[in-house]
Amino acid sequence: MHENEESKIAIFMSGLRREIQNIVELYEYISLKKLVHLDIKVESQLLTKTSFKHTHNDGFQKSYRKNKNEFPKQDNPSNSSK
């Protein structure tokens, strides 16, 4: 099959997730090769952001879930004055 470069680019773009398509469309690319490299960069950045979010949120969420049924102990004002 000998498709021209624009057809190959269109086919490649249609196979990308919509989130990635939206980001890739913001940049200039003049060949399929450059588009593929751009796609790889965008996907790796999205994966890094997702991993970073999960790594940092998991610690908080785990400790929150662990202690969600525990309430902080409060001093009884009547006992503290005695």
Domain boundaries, the chain: 5-65
For the segment 24-79, what is each residue's pLDDT rounded down to a tens digit? 999 998 899 999 999 999 999 998 887 766 655 555 555 555 555 555 555 555 55
Task: Look at residue 1 in the predicted model and tell me its pLDDT.
Answer: 45
The model carries a pTM of: 0.57
Distance separating alpha carbons of residues 53 and 65, to the nearest angstrom: 17
